[in-house]
Structure 1
Amino acid sequence: MDFKLSSEQEMLVESVRSFVEKELLPYEEEVDRADTISPELSAQIRERALAAGFYAFNMPEEVGGGGLDYLSQALIERELSKCSWALHVFVARPSKILMACRGQQIEDYLLPCVRGEKIDCFALTEPGAGSDANSIKTRAVRDGDDFLLNGAKHFISHAGHADFAIVFAVTDTYDYKGRQRNKVTAFLVDSDAPGLTIRRGPKCVSNRGYHTFEMFFDDCRVPANKVLGEVDKGWDVANAWLTAGRVMVAANCVGQAQRAMQAALQWSADRQQFGQAIGNYQGVSFKLADMATEIQAAELLTLHAAWKMDQGSMTDGDAGMAKLFASEVLGRVVDEAVQIYGGMGLMDEGPIERMWRNARIERIWEGTSEIQRHIISRELLRPLMN
């Protein structure tokens, strides 16, 4: 296997790295302390990302996106993640689910998102349905040419900035091995739709300035022509995106770990104790060796999963392994970085405590570590237990 990046990929990485250093990182501490990002700054990032050609890099070229392969997308995600989600989210990656748009939906939703004229959000999680997505309670009932939605969503990232949400609701049930399972439909719901209320959710310590929201549907009327995909086939449009998303989260984790590693390495060379740099002591230097080894293993596992996605051979287990390992490596790396910094690692004058806070969510969203282990083990056992 050829592990060398192409010259185009190397240039892409350098361009994104420069963009992050110039356009994002200078604002990170300010946004984190304020726990908000101004409309002016978010618009500035969006405009400069569009000008640099990074906007919608995950979307196919035929709809105006970057048309990049998954490996290149993972490389970009790795570099963008070296800054908080509160900022790099505005280098938008519209939900790939929008490729299921048909007819007028393409002009109203898909193309405006690719051009930076509209922002989408993904509304699946509910108070009683996190890891068990199939247990969602939000329902959509046919009413003439419309559907009436009733229910609630929470932990919906970026909904406060979004022009519309991709909402998943139960439209029917069926029997599966003696149990009732839900048939789910995806809907394109405008943020100003009558019967929809959006409010800020609980404050999160990770990625301050990047907020989650609650959404409440009270006889929210959605025209039938805003069904995304087919009625009762919502999981068909969701699953491909969810699986690919785990690989990109893994790439995010690798980038964060690399940043924490670099900070810890510099501190180990500069910090003097007992007359010499602390990096000279095995108690510190061995930590650095373990951190570097684990980060490289996580990166190789992640890029291999992205490569397999490009070949059309990636399984759910491959994506699960990448997400599981990279997120847990990140947790260990930032924890060791705090230890290397000592007391200063927990002070908000420096970036390490922010990296430590931000890293914790990665083992939860896009499928917890426990869910990833379930996916991986189920895939391993399936051929032996049929």
Structure 2
Amino acid sequence: MDFNLSDEQQMIVKTTRDFVENELYPHEAEIEETGVLRHDLRDQIKAKAIEAGLYAANMPAEVGGAGLDTLTWVLYEKELGRANYALHWTCVARPSNILMACEGEQREKYLFPAVKGEKSDCLAMTEPGVGSDVRGMKTFAKQDGDWFVINGTKHFISHADEASFVILFAATGEEETPRGKKKLITAFLIDMGTPGFTVRPGYKNVSHRGYNNCILEFTDCRVHKAQILGEIHKGFEVANDWLGATRLQVAATCIGRAERALDHAKQYAVDRQQFGQQIGKFQGVSFKLADMALELKAAELLTLEAAWKFDNKTVTDMDMAMAKLKATEMLAFVADEAIQIHGGMGLMSDLPLERIWRDARVERIWEGTSEIQRHIISRALLRPLGG
């Protein structure tokens, strides 16, 4: 494995870093204070991102995206992750790769407009009372000829208030398995404003101000079979084919934020004087910096290795679970230690550290909790031995 970045990768990293520092950082304070990303600001930054070639960089070149390989995409995500989540996710959007499953007219209606920035998607899988047990979802799509009638509720649906359409996962039947009956899941493409489909404000939360969660309610919502993404009853197959790398995306953005926190901690350890010397000369501070750098490097190497394996078609679920688990738990540690080094100033909103600390909490929950990642890892270790 070659650890050197190519000239192209170095250019992408620099371009993305410059964009983040020049176009995103200046607006962080406003969003943190108001909890709102203004639509005019969103559109202004989105136009600049499209012009810079940073928009939809995760999508293949044949559909209009930048066509980055997974490793380069992770490097790009790491740089974006340094900024406020609402700014980098909403303004420098990465359409869900699951849209590559679109066929025929779906490509013209959903895929291509999403890549161009004319439309945006959101993914709806999580339900109240269900959580990680996705097969236990209660939202049901009952077939009625060429139509499906959908009833149910989804919650914790990120940026649904900004989306043009939702990629909905709903139960469409049941199958017998050695462990009993399991629900068959189908993915649907549903436009905002469809009768029977309502988007409501979600819950107030501690993480990612300006990047909202929403509640989606479906009441006798009728959807034509042409809006099935993939095949009926094959929603999990569609998700597994295209969504696996999202855990690497979470890992990468966590690494970017941890780097920013560590940079602030290092600079403060040099600038801050106590008892006649820089606080970085005290072992209580210097050892913290060493441990922060060590944990960050370990998370970065796990993530880059998984991305490299993804490109070489050798990646496993355990590889991606390890990267996500390590990076999210590392960010919590680094953010906390950075605040400890700064003392009281670390908790003031003058610095981004208190935001990074708050935002870090959700990373161990969404895209699969830390417990789910440990389950995936332990299962991969034990199954070959008959466990």
Question: Is TM-score (shorter-chain normalized) higher than 0.5?
Answer: yes
CA distance in 2, matches of 1:238, 1:374: 19
Name the counterpart of 2:159.
158
Q: What are the equivalent positions in structure 2 for 1:10-49 lying under 5 Å apart? A: 10-49=10-49
Q: SS at the partner of 1:5?
A: coil
Residue 243 of structure 1: how far off its partner (Å): 1.8
Q: Which amino acid aligns with 1:335?
A: D
Residue 10 of structure 1: how far off its partner (Å): 0.5
Residue 46 of structure 1: how far off its partner (Å): 1.0
**TM-score normalised by L of structure 1:** 0.99
Q: SS at the partner of 1:150?
A: strand
Name the counterpart of 1:75.
75
Residue 133 of structure 1: how far off its partner (Å): 1.2
CA distance in 1, matches of 2:207, 2:42: 19
Q: What are the equivalent positions in structure 2 for 1:110-189 lying under 5 Å apart? A: 110-189=111-190
Q: Which amino acid aligns with 1:87?
A: L
- Report the number of matched residues: 386
Report Cα offsets for 1:12-40 as digits up to 9, x if no partner. 10000000011101001111110001000
Q: Which amino acid aligns with 1:258?
A: E
Contact kept in structure 1, 2:35 and 2:209, CA below 8 Å: yes
Report Cα offsets for 1:37-80 as digits up to 9, x if no partner. 10001101111110000111111111111111000000000000
Q: SS at the partner of 2:153?
A: strand
Name the counterpart of 1:227.
228
Q: Which amino acid aligns with 1:55?
A: Y
Contact kept in structure 2, 1:141 and 1:148, CA below 8 Å: yes
Contact kept in structure 1, 2:121 and 2:167, CA below 8 Å: yes
CA distance in 2, matches of 1:145, 1:298: 48
Residue 144 of structure 1: how far off its partner (Å): 2.1
Report Cα offsets for 1:204-224 as digits up to 9, x if no partner. 111100000000000011111
Q: Which amino acid aligns with 1:47?
A: A
Q: Which amino acid aligns with 1:243?
A: G
Residue 352 of structure 1: how far off its partner (Å): 1.1
Report Cα offsets for 1:222-247 as digits up to 9, x if no partner. 11100000000000111133321001
Residue 178 of structure 1: how far off its partner (Å): 4.3
Q: Which amino acid aligns with 1:52?
A: A
CA distance in 1, matches of 2:45, 2:242: 25
CA distance in 1, matches of 2:181, 2:49: 46
Residue 128 of structure 1: how far off its partner (Å): 1.7
The answer to whether the aligner puts 1:100 opposite 2:101 as a matched pair is yes
Q: SS at the partner of 1:293?
A: helix
CA distance in 1, matches of 2:241, 2:105: 23
Residue 350 of structure 1: how far off its partner (Å): 2.1
Name the counterpart of 1:217.
218
Name the counterpart of 2:329.
328
Residue 253 of structure 1: how far off its partner (Å): 0.9
Q: SS at the partner of 1:267?
A: helix
> Superposition RMSD on alpha carbons, in Å?
0.9
Q: Which amino acid aligns with 2:364?
A: R
Name the counterpart of 1:251.
252
**TM-score normalised by L of structure 2:** 0.98
Report Cα offsets for 1:242-269 as digits up to 9, x if no partner. 3210011111111111000001111111
Contact kept in structure 2, 1:242 and 1:366, CA below 8 Å: no
Name the counterpart of 1:202.
203
CA distance in 2, matches of 1:177, 1:311: 34
CA distance in 2, matches of 1:175, 1:352: 50
CA distance in 2, matches of 1:350, 1:259: 11
Contact kept in structure 2, 1:151 and 1:218, CA below 8 Å: yes
Q: Which amino acid aligns with 1:336?
A: E
Q: SS at the partner of 1:305?
A: helix
CA distance in 2, matches of 1:33, 1:354: 11
CA distance in 2, matches of 1:299, 1:178: 38
CA distance in 1, matches of 2:375, 2:11: 38
Q: SS at the partner of 1:205?
A: coil
Q: SS at the partner of 2:10?
A: helix
Contact kept in structure 2, 1:167 and 1:187, CA below 8 Å: yes
Contact kept in structure 1, 2:98 and 2:243, CA below 8 Å: no
CA distance in 1, matches of 2:96, 2:186: 16
Contact kept in structure 2, 1:128 and 1:135, CA below 8 Å: no
Identity score, percent = 58
Residue 351 of structure 1: how far off its partner (Å): 1.6
Name the counterpart of 2:378.
377
Contact kept in structure 1, 2:58 and 2:94, CA below 8 Å: yes
Name the counterpart of 1:65.
65
Report Cα offsets for 1:108-144 as digits up to 9, x if no partner. 0000000110000000000122111111110000112
Segments ≥4 residues shifted beyond 4 Å: none
Q: SS at the partner of 1:171?
A: strand
Q: Which amino acid aligns with 1:197?
A: T
Q: Which amino acid aligns with 1:180?
A: K
Residue 174 of structure 1: how far off its partner (Å): 0.8
CA distance in 1, matches of 2:241, 2:377: 17
CA distance in 1, matches of 2:342, 2:106: 52
CA distance in 2, matches of 1:80, 1:204: 22
CA distance in 2, matches of 1:85, 1:202: 17
Name the counterpart of 1:300.
301
CA distance in 1, matches of 2:377, 2:39: 41
The answer to whether the aligner puts 1:6 opposite 2:6 as a matched pair is yes
